[in-house]
Amino acid sequence: MADDKRVLLKIQGLKIEGYSDEKWIEIVHGVDLTLHRGEVLGLIGESGAGKSTIGLAAMGFARDGCRISGGSVEFDGMELTTTPESDRRVLRGSRIAYVAQSAAASFNPAHKLIDQHTEAPVHYRIRKRMESQEDAMELYDRLRLPNPREIGFRYPHQVSGGQLQRAMTAMAMSCRPDLIIFDEPTTALDVTTQIEVLAAIRDIVDQFNTAAIYITHDLAVVAQMADTIKVLLKGDEVEEADTVTMLDDPQEDYTKTLWAVRSFQRPQKSRPEDETVPIVTIDNVDAAYGQTKVLEDVSFDIHAGMTVAVVGESGSGKSTTARCITGLLPPTKGRILFSGEELPASFRARSKDQLRQAQMIYQMADTALNPKVRISDIIGRPAEFYSGLKGAQLKNRVDELLDLIELEPSKFYSRYPPELSGGQKQRIGIARALAAEPSFIICDEVTSALDQLVAEGILRLLDRLQEELDLAYMFITHDLATVRSIADEVVVMKEGRVVEMGPKDVMFTPPHHPYTDLLLSSVPEMDPNWLNTVLEERGVDNIGEAART
Amino acid sequence: MNYFVIVYYALLIGGSCLAAYFKRREIFLALFSLTLASFVMGIVGGQDALWAVSIAAGLLALAAGTAYAFREFLVIISGTETAKALRTAPLTASFGMFVIFTYAVLGIFAPVIAPFGEAEVISQSFAPADENMLLGADQLGRDLFSRIVYGARNTVGLALVATMIAFVIGVLLGMVAAVKGGWFDQLMGRIIDVVMSIPGLIFALLLLSIFGTNLIILVIIIGLIYAPRVFRLTRAVAGNVVVMDYIEAASLRGEGMWYLIRKEILPNSTAPLIAEFGLEFCFVFLLVAGLSFLGLGIQPPTADWGSMVRENATLISFGEITPLIPAAAIALLTVAVNFVVDWMLFRSSGLKE
């Protein structure tokens, strides 16, 4: 880090209002923030805490339907809230850059990466086109993208997600800004890809002595990246301290609960001694989408009352396995057995009772619940459909189910899904699955779209329900922390094959299959030196390759 | 120079100054460009031209006032949810609603409102307007005003029924195609392509000359001709809904196709379909009027705006505006429906967020 320690960004008493229901409602209540040159500040908090809004306000920008209503944003001696929009626009892109959560959505799919990269420097006349292209290639090299001289000439869909996120970072660097705002840049990535991007971002910020605001909800990630951490809750600052102090000695109760989130772990159950028939058996299943083979020779068992976690990167065939079990994608080879009885391959051929036995909970509760149907009907329909309940009986059953998922029946009975929070929607999704009285539930990434505190609540709920109702879970996830807390057995998948499987305690103790090892070591830990240690172990230069092999 | 001209310019310039002072840029630009245009018009057309401008402005203000008052009226009488939506309606939309409301009243209470029967001959042909006949008489000496009132019932009612038939067929087939997919989707798509490739009016003429100009047949044919467009829209809208997880959840539950369409897909595609209903209604309405004008639609002596334009067309050469009155009735309803539809389209696209 250089000696230049002047204050770059100073935000004081920042207030932001959002427009809803024909009123302006304050969503950020006076936040202060000071950032020196070359410093990285981590902003953490749950969704709705105002992280992104503050990040954007640092550029003097407010989203549609929001406005900065008070306070000051001073960037390098310039007051952004009173500067005309035209001057602010020059500042953005040239001196302040923004890296969004989804690089795939932020790149224009119709232009080559390098053309999008050179757009800003050429526009602001910082560099000529050819110079800027040379510079882009150098940045790609520094960010350890493969083939730095050629990759820029590809279109966004021709490179992987992790590479795209790094190209986005390179683009943000194209004008050598003084400040970059990273808004959850690795949230959408697999752990193995995340580690590459994290290392690349940290290096480049170091090399150019750029100041950065790093917005995330993942504490372990922020511990690697930030010099200081600021915790936010509902538009208010909870506390701020340098990273080491913050991790070792948090002051506020809220911060402590955030830190403790990953502590939930339930005792592991083992298979029953006598050879009972497993509730679900996947027997040598192959599956394909058209000509592309996606599953090859997948077999594993799920026993009653147990949780089997299926882990792997995206594209490893986890969700496809679930689609084979539910019958949405009939396997090309192999059988699916339910309590020893073979199921018809397609769900259309299955009986009502067979369909009832296996239920599913989806990743995105937003798309899994019909926004135009009342909660009472969403939950009531399976009960009505399978058990033929009607009238008062049906209402009692719905109330009972709402009680079961810890939502107050009188409050939620006649509401619509868009009126609920993410965690509440996911609970409704669980209740809908339970309404069928199943013996087996597939949980497809049920917590990955939720904040950590909310996710923990859902995991605890699922665990309690398993105890009470003796359910078997197939838990699809890429988050190993979730696996650690809830699984009894673990199945590791890669490229459509089962790489390794066994009870959780065995799987989490070495020796591992090399791929399992890679997955496990890529999970960020709260130790601020974790990233350095891992990179050292793997050898910094070939981290990219290490993650791909 | 008389007082009228002085007051005219004084009002315009005063208004522009006020607009400029309160920084209402659009109003200022409109008023001041009108002032400049008035200088030219005043020199070329004299005082009469300025009178015409004032009357047009007065009518516009009257329409705006009516629209505003009607919106407030609707907001007050409707429930909270609807009122919230209505408050966002622009003046054009509430003007459209007012016109539609008026037509509906005319159509429903036609026998009460019309002073004479639709086929009643009360005077000589082409009699001019007097205190007895508000708009004069038509080519057979029937009261034109009464016929326009009855025409609202016949023409609009027919168009409404035909549009509904088009929607029932189109929405049903479109939904089934979206849910079932595969060969059914392909087959329906190609049949629809064939129907759409034949120009609507010519197809209608052809079918009507085969089956005769019976009212029921007319309605069914028009419904069939317009169903393909509804089919295409429905299939596209439902196609976006079918891929949602909640549809997957429902079909994994073992729900039948009818349940999926009725309970899961339809509630999520109503907004664009209602907007399309308004648009289609205008087209159907114009087709009915066009067919009547050609003599193949509603048969005399039933009053109908399209045939009224044709029957009185000879009067045009005598400089009378009588044949243009039913034409204006058609135009006004079309414009009004489009105003409302524009607002609905805006809402349905804006509500996605």
Residue A481 falls within a domain, yes or no?
yes
Q: Is A327 on the interface with B (CB under 8 A)?
A: yes
Residue appearing with tokens 């087209």: B283
3-state helix/strand/coil string of A291-308 = CEEEEEEEEEEECCCCEE
Give the chain B residue whose CA is nearest to the CA of A369.
Answer: B246
With a CB cutoff of 8 Å and minimum separation 6, the contacts of B254 are: A347, A350, A352, A355, A385
- Least CB–CB distance from B268: residue in A22, A327, A372: A372
The reply to whether A371 touches chain B by the CB within 8 Å rule is: yes
For B114-142, how does the pLDDT look when each residue is reduced to its tens digit (9 = 90+)? 888 888 887 777 777 777 777 777 778 88
Give the pLDDT of residue B352.
38
- One-letter amino acid identity for A306? M
Residue in B with minimal Cα distance to A356 = B253
The reply to whether A441 touches chain B by the CB within 8 Å rule is no
Q: Report the alpha-carbon distance of residue A513 to residue B290 in Å, rounded.
A: 77
Residue A196 lies in a domain: yes
Which of A258, A289, A307 is a domain's end point?
A258
B252 → closest Cβ in A355, A371, A373: A355
The residue among B203 and A185 whose pLDDT is bigger is B203
Are both A357 and A225 inside the same structural domain? no
More confident residue, B162 or A200: B162
Q: In the structure encoding, which two tokens stand for residue A268, read together?
A: 């592991």
- How far is the alpha carbon of A548 from chain B, nearest alpha carbon, in Å? 31
Name the minimum distance, in Å, from the CA of A159 to any CA of chain B: 26
Determine how many CB atoms are found less than 10 A away from the CB of residue B181: 12
- pLDDT surpasses 90 at B234: yes
pLDDT for residue A549: 36
**A288 and A251 belong to one structural domain:** no
The shortest C-alpha distance from B253 to chain A (Å) reads 6
Q: Both A327 and A432 in a single domain?
A: yes
Interface of A with B in 19-48 (CB under 8 A): 22
On whether any CB of chain B is under 8 Å from the CB of A347, the answer is: yes
CB contact under 8 A, B254 and A385: yes
Q: Closest partner residue to A368 among B249, B267, B268, by Cβ? A: B249
Q: Is A370 on the interface with B (CB under 8 A)?
A: yes
Interface test with A, best of B243, B252, B261, B273 (most A CBs within 10 A): B252
Instruction: Give the Cα separation of A524 and A191 in Å (integer).
Output: 8
Chain A residues in contact with B249 by the CB 8 A cut-off are 360, 362, 368, 432
Assess whether the previous peptide bond of A511 is cis (omega < 30° from 0).
yes
- List the single residue in B with minimal CA-CA distance to A382: B253
Q: How many pairs of residues across A and B have Cβ atoms under 8 Å apart?
A: 47
For an interface test with A, which of B243, B245, B257, B348 has the most A Cβ atoms less than 10 Å from its Cβ?
Answer: B245
State chain B's maximal CA–CA distance in angstroms.
84
A273 occurs within a structural domain: no
User: What is the torsion angle, in degrees rounded to the nearest 10, for the CA atoms of residue B302, residue B306, residue B312 and residue B314?
Assistant: -140
Does residue A264 lie in a domain region?
no
**Are A367 and B253 in contact (CB < 8 Å)?**
no
| Record: contact A368-B254, CB cut-off 8 A | no
What local confidence, expressed as pLDDT, does residue B171 receive? 94
CA contacts within 13 A on the Cβ side of A388: 2
Instruction: Let me know if A83 is exposed, middle or buried by CB neighbors in 10 A (0-12, 13-18, 19+).
Output: middle
Amino acid identity of residue A244, one-letter, is: V
The answer to whether residues A216 and A194 touch, using CB atoms and an 8 Å cutoff, is no
Least Cα distance to B118 among B251, B308, B277 occurs for B308
CB B69 within 8 A of CB B63: no
Read off the pTM. 0.76
Separation in Å, CA of A345 to nearest CA in chain B: 13
**What is the domain-level CATH number for residue A42?**
3.40.50.300
Q: How many domains does chain A have?
A: 2
Residue A541: predicted pLDDT: 47
Q: Copy the structure tokens of residue A97.
A: 């850059």
Q: Cα A165 to chain center, whole Å?
A: 15
Could B253 and A385 be called an inter-chain contact, meaning their C-beta atoms sit closer than 8 Å?
A: yes
CA distance A231 to A241: 9
Domain that holds residue A12: 7-105+178-258
Name the residue in chain B with its Cα closest to that of A438. B253
B252:A385 CB<8 A: no
Residue A20 lies in a domain: yes
SS3 breakdown of chain A: % helix, strand, coil, rounded to 5? Answer: 40, 25, 35
- For chain A, what is the total number of helices (H) and then of strands (E)? 23, 20
Q: Identify which of B246, B250, B253 has the shortest CB distance to residue A367.
A: B246
**Which residues of B sit within 8 Å Cβ distance of A?**
84, 244-246, 248-255, 263-264, 267-268
Report the C-alpha gap between A96 and A177 in whole angstroms.
5
Q: How far is A65 from chain B (nearest CA, A)?
A: 12
Tell me, yes or no, if A105 comes closer than 8 A to chain B by beta carbon: no
- Burial class of residue A299, CB neighbours in 10 A (0-12, 13-18, 19+): middle
Cis peptide before B301 (omega within 30 of 0): yes
CB A284 within 8 A of CB A299: yes
CB–CB contact A370 B268 (8 Å): yes
Subunit contact A371:B268, Cβ cutoff 8 A: yes
Domain boundaries, chain B: 3-76, 106-350
Note whether A426 and A349 are same-domain residues. yes
- Domain spanning B106-350, CATH class: mainly alpha
Distance, CA of A76 to CA of A78 (rounded, Å): 6
Query: Is the minimum CB–CB distance between A353 and chain B shorter than 8 Å?
Result: no
- Whether residue A301 lies inside any domain: the answer is yes
A307 and A253 in a common domain:
no
Distance CA(A185)–CA(A194), nearest Å, equals 9
In contact, A439 and A274? CB cutoff 8 Å: no
Q: How far apart are CA A151 and CA A140, in angstroms?
A: 8
Cβ of B246 and A370 within 8 Å?
A: yes
Closest CA to A470 of A435, A440, A446: A440
Average pLDDT, chain B: 86
Q: What is the DSSP string of B94-136?
A: HHHHHHHHHHHHHHHTHHHH-SS-TT-B-S-TTPPP-SS-TT-
Q: Does A436 touch chain B (CB under 8 A)?
A: yes
Residue entry with tokens 């595609």: B269
Q: In sequence order, what are the beta bridge partners of A181?
A: A98, A213
**Distance set, CA B119 to CA A266, B139, B279, B303, B328 (Å):** 87, 12, 32, 8, 22
Tell if the CB–CB gap between B245 and A368 is shorter than 8 Å. Answer: yes
In this complex, which of B251, B253, B264 lies closest to A370 when CB atoms are compared?
A: B264
Rounded to a whole number, what is the distance in Å from the CA of B96 to chain A's nearest CA? 25
ipTM of this complex: 0.74
Q: How far apart (Å, rounded) are the C-alpha atoms in residues A207 and A55?
A: 23
Nearest CA in chain A to B270: A372
Mean pLDDT by 10 residues, chain A (549 residues): 66 81 78 84 80 82 79 81 80 82 80 86 84 86 81 82 82 84 79 80 82 84 84 82 79 76 70 75 86 86 88 82 89 88 87 89 86 89 88 89 87 84 87 90 84 82 88 86 85 87 82 80 76 73 43
Half-sphere exposure (CA, 13 Å, Cβ side) for A178? 17
Which residues in B lie closer than 8 A to residue A387 (C-beta atoms)? none
User: Do residue A216 and residue A337 come from a single domain?
Assistant: no
Is residue A342 in a domain? yes
Tell me the C-alpha distance between A194 and B16, whole Å: 61
What DSSP character marks residue A376?
Answer: H
d(CA B292, CA B305): 8
Q: Answer yes or no: do A465 and A322 share one domain.
A: yes
**Distance between CA atoms of residues B79 and A515, nearest Å:** 61
Quick one: closest CA in A to B353, which residue?
A418
| Chain A residues in contact with B252 (beta carbon < 8 A) | 326-328, 347, 355, 360
Task: Answer whether A136's CB lies under 8 Å from A152's CB.
Answer: yes
pLDDT at A548: 41
Q: Which of A109, A124, A96, A108 lies closest to A182 in space, CA to CA?
A: A96
Q: Ramachandran region of residue B298, left (φ > 0), alpha (ψ -120 to 50) or beta?
A: beta
Chain A residue with minimal CA distance to B250? A382
Of A328, A372, A373, the CB nearest to B248: A328
> Same structural domain for residues A359 and A212?
no
Same domain, A232 and A315: no
CA B117 to chain CA mean position, Å: 26
Set of chain B residues whose Cβ sits within 8 Å of the Cβ of A372: 267-268
Q: Which amino acid is at A222?
A: V
For chain A, the C-alpha Rg in angstroms (whole number) is: 25
* pLDDT tens digits for range B255-283: 888 999 988 998 888 888 888 888 888 88
Sign of CA dihedral B38, B41, B47, B52: negative
Confidence (pLDDT) at B194: 92
Same domain, A202 and A312: no
For residues A51 and A98, state if they share a domain. Answer: yes
Residue A382 Cα, gap to closest chain B Cα (Å): 7
Distance CA A378, CA A220 (A): 37
End-to-end Cα separation, chain A, in angstroms: 33
Distance between CA B89 and CA B97 in Å, rounded?
Answer: 10
**Whether residue A213 is found in the same domain as residue A288:** no
Question: Contact B166/B273 with Cβ under 8 angstroms?
Answer: no
* CA atoms of B143 and B119, how far apart (whole Å): 9
Contact A88, A80 (CB under 8 A): yes
- Please name the residue of chain A whose CA is at the shortest distance from the CA of residue B87: A22
Residue A546 domain-assigned? Answer: no
